[in-house]
Amino acid sequence: MKNDNKKNIHLDGIKVSTTFSGIKKTPDNEHDILLVQFDKPCSIAGVFTKSLTSSAPVNQCKSNLISSKQATVRAIVVNSGNANAFTGKLGEETVSKISMFLSKLLKSNTNQIYTASTGVIGKQLDANKIINSFKSMTSCNTQNWLQAAQAIKTTDTFPKIAIRTCKIDNVNIDIVGIAKGSGMIAPDMATMLGFIFTNANLPSNILQKILNEANETSFNSITVDSDTSTSDTVLLAATRKAKHNLISKHTDRRLREFRNTLSSLMLELAKLIVKDGEGASKFVTINVTGACTKKSAKKIALSIANSPLVKTAIAGEDANWGRIIMAIGKSGELADRDNIKIHIGDELVTYKGMIYKNYSEVRATNHLKQSEVNLSIDVGVGKSCGKVYTCDLTHKYIEINADYRS
């Protein structure tokens, strides 16, 4: 696996273009539309929010994926500035209008057009602004991934992009991913969008299984503020241009490097989202061990990560470990009070049901002064573990979200 820092890796068969449509209100007319075109039907897989008030684009993507045994894609359209969520029948009609127009332009089926939107909830999306943008975008023949990542931002402070290379059957495989997300981030992903592209020659059913696995340890293991968005979407598309032998099972050993590489790329993007958490000043890793199951370990880790008391203590560089004890208890998961061990950085805090006799508040506080904080918790009831990534909660978060629509 190679972590390639080049921002403009080229994938044959893909055209990437962005433009300003006026959907997102910015002082300098930042681009707010992304169009990705494929020269022929490509494999596609997706994972989405579990919100019961999911957006029209999410519902459309999910419908496309189940419309055939091997779903394919010809174009992905993304807009920022408007989530097209809780917009009723009109929101669904907007998605249909965009899909029908683009499918005619590309001579494809409507179920090969995938849409995604991010921004304000409850405001009708003007389909004409997007459709009018296609005229200048469909003729584009470039691949500027950095520009693509810029176009899908909302409250993000920087574009999020990751690139990897690996091999299948000794054939070079390229993977590029872009993402956005900064707040309303919780498991079942976030108010986040992610788009990943590869030249691997893999059918959609295999892509879907690999994506599901990688998602659990990346986008589904982050939280900024415990809120789950209406719009979470991650799509993985494969052009199938690579000349390796056909693979029919996702468990095939020849896919091991690809699976690991994809997981690495997705985890990098997920961590970038947390590091760009609204108002965040610290990146926090919470590692829970000694749990009865992996599910239990992750639930405990999330209980800690989503606690406003824990997050504000970290922001204030206050080693108030009692709040971690509280969060473990409120998770509802099995933990042995007298065997819980908490580490703040390398500093052992609790031992045998009490504060450790050699615990140093000074050393624990010094660790919390770092930009990256590590909390390790052993709950003493089993051998399973789970890891979650989060950030602190600062005054800046309130400032951003109290004025989000302005």
pLDDT in tens, 100-134: 999 999 999 999 999 999 988 999 999 999 999 99
Closest CA to 388 of 211, 215, 218: 218
**Per-residue pLDDT reduced to its tens digit, 46-64:** 999 888 899 999 999 999 9
Where helices occur in 279-360 by DSSP H, the ranges are 294-305, 308-315, 322-330
pLDDT at 352 over 70: yes
Out of 191, 230, 239, 289, pick the active-site residue: 191
Percentage above 70 pLDDT, the chain = 95
Which residue(s) pair with 377 in the sheet? Answer: 288, 342
Q: Which of 21-25, 135-139, 302-306 is most confident? A: 302-306
Q: What does the pLDDT average to over 175-192? A: 70
pLDDT at residue 2 in the model: 59
pLDDT at 155 over 60: yes
**Per-residue pLDDT reduced to its tens digit, 308-333:** 999 999 999 999 999 999 999 999 99
Count helices and strands in the chain by DSSP H and E runs:
11, 16
Other residues' Cβ atoms within 10 Å of the Cβ of residue 12: 11
Query: How far from 380 is each of 299, 310, 342, 355, CA to CA, in Å?
Result: 15, 21, 11, 16
- If one compares 88 and 402, the residue with the highest pLDDT of the two is 88
The C-alpha angle 141, 147, 153, rounded to 5 degrees, equals 135
pLDDT at 11 over 70: yes
Q: What does the pLDDT average to over 206-228? A: 91
The token duo for 376 is 């390790």
The token duo for 69 is 């045994």
Q: What does the pLDDT average to over 371-386? A: 98
pLDDT at residue 3 in the model: 58
SS3 call for 367: helix
Greatest CA separation found in the chain?
A: 72
Dist CA 315 CA 144 (whole Å):
36
Interstrand relation of 171-180 and 193-198 (parallel, antiparallel or unpaired): antiparallel
pLDDT at 6 over 60: no
What does the DSSP assignment read for 166-184? EEETTEEEEEEEEEE--SS
Whether 191 is catalytic: yes
pLDDT band at 185 (very low <50, low <70, confident <90, very high): very low
pLDDT at residue 226 in the model: 81
Task: State which H helix or E strand residue 14 sits in.
Answer: strand 14-19
pLDDT at residue 248 in the model: 92
SS3 call for 60: helix
pLDDT band at 188 (very low <50, low <70, confident <90, very high): very low
**Domain 2-275, second-level architecture:** 4-Layer Sandwich (3.60)
Map out the domains of the chain as residue ranges.
2-275, 283-402
pLDDT at residue 68 in the model: 87
Q: What does the pLDDT average to over 357-364? A: 98
Lowest mean pLDDT among 76-85, 175-184, 212-221, 242-251: 175-184
Instruction: Please check whether residue 237 is in contact with residue 44, taking contact to mean a CB–CB distance below 8 angstroms.
Output: yes
Mean pLDDT of the chain: 92
Predicted TM-score (pTM) above 0.95: no
What does the DSSP assignment read for 138-167? TT-----HHHHHHHT-SS-SS-EEEEEEEE
Torsion sign, CA atoms 2, 5, 10, 11: positive
**Per-residue pLDDT reduced to its tens digit, 20-31:** 999 988 778 899
- Report the top-level CATH class of 283-402: alpha beta
Percentage above 90 pLDDT, the chain = 82
Instruction: Please check whether residue 37 is in contact with residue 138, taking contact to mean a CB–CB distance below 8 angstroms.
Output: yes
b (16+ CB within 10 A) / e for 329-345: eebebebeeeebbbbbb
**Cα 113 vs. chain centroid, distance in angstroms?**
21
